Amino acid sequence: MEHIDHILVVDDDHGIRTGVVDYLRKNGLRATAAAEGREMMAQLDTSAFDLIVLDVMMPGDDGLVLCRNLRSGKHRAVPVLLLTARDDETDRIIGLEMGADDYLTKPFSPRELLARIKAVIRRTRMLPPNLRITETTDILAFGRWRLDTTARHLLDEDGTVVALSGAEFRLLRVFLDHPQRILSRDQLLNLTQGRDAELFDRSIDLMVSRLRQRLQDDAKEQAYIKTVRSEGYVFSMPVSVNGDAP
């Protein structure tokens, strides 16, 4: 199954925002728009993104502030490409110091933007993760289990290894990244596979069922993953990170 890169375009100017989104979609990427910072954060919580295109000049929190906030939050690993208005070196230097991965000065050609987007994604993909800001921590503990996100498997209290398939691992990590939150099947599909649900798509139900089996989570008791009828699923157990108190 092919992964399609998903870009989040953040710009207060409606024309630029929709223009960029349309252009990216025409060129085979997924693209979503956000008009300002709060909307950006909301999108980041519900979908997985491969890159954020961020305008520097915006009312309210400007792009530099947002960029810095991003870098200290949960989505620190997502690459950022800044759009700077002037040919002003200070903005760009500050931007790169704030942790942006590239920048482009307005006005820009869509072609150039697309090329830079692809280049940044490629570049960050190739970097070994210890060289970048790490997205997730190594060990996520919950109940009697620990998930080793490096080795991509589960450990029980004795340290016994339980292997996970790729899809199971991704699903569990999404749950652990969003504990105590109802996640719809749409969101789960988006966050695990970056694709949208088709009609009568029940593959998520299946994956949940298989994950429950691995966790020996009885669907009746549902200690870990609770079903919320007609809404989705919740991971309903405290998760501790790298040995912190839960």
Partner DNA sequence: GGCGACGGATACACATCGATACAAAAAGCG
Partner DNA sequence: CGCTTTTTGTATCGATGTGTATCCGTCGCC
Q: Which residues bind DNA (CB under 7 A)?
A: 1, 163, 165-168, 193, 198, 200-203, 205-210, 212, 218-219, 227-232
Number of C-beta neighbours around residue 166 at 10 A: 9
- Which of these segments, 7-15, 17-25, 208-216, 219-227, binds a second copy (CB under 8 A)? 219-227
Provide, rounded to whole angstroms, the least separation between the CB of residue 81 and DNA.
30
For residue 133, give the amino acid letter: I
Angle between helices 110-126 and 14-26 (to 10 degrees): 70
Determine if residue 100 is left, alpha or beta; phi over 0 gives left, psi from -120 to 50 gives alpha, anything else beta.
beta
Cis geometry, peptide bond prior to residue 107 (ω within 30 degrees of 0): yes
Backbone angles phi, psi at 85, to 5 degrees: -75, -60
* Selected binder of a second copy within 28, 157, 166, 200 (CB under 8 A): 166
The answer to whether the beta carbons of residues 132 and 120 sit under 8 Å apart is no
* Selected binder of a second copy within 12, 61, 177, 186 (CB under 8 A): 177
Question: How is residue 129 written in tokens?
Answer: 């993760």
- Among DNA, a second copy, none, what binds residue 89 when CB lies within 5 to 8 Å by partner kind? a second copy
Provide, rounded to whole angstroms, the least separation between the CB of residue 39 and a second copy.
27
Provide, rounded to whole angstroms, the least separation between the CB of residue 89 and a second copy.
6
- Among DNA, a second copy, none, what binds residue 199 when CB lies within 5 to 8 Å by partner kind? none
* Selected binder of a second copy within 60, 201, 228, 243 (CB under 8 A): 228
Q: How far is CA 246 from CA 27, 143, 194, 237, in A?
A: 45, 10, 30, 10
Q: Is 230 helix (H, G, I), strand (E, B) or coil?
A: coil
Binding-site ranges for a second copy (CB under 8 A): 1, 3, 89-94, 96-97, 99, 101-103, 105, 111-112, 115, 118-119, 122-123, 125-132, 134, 150-153, 161, 163, 165-167, 177-181, 187, 220-222, 226-231, 234, 236-238
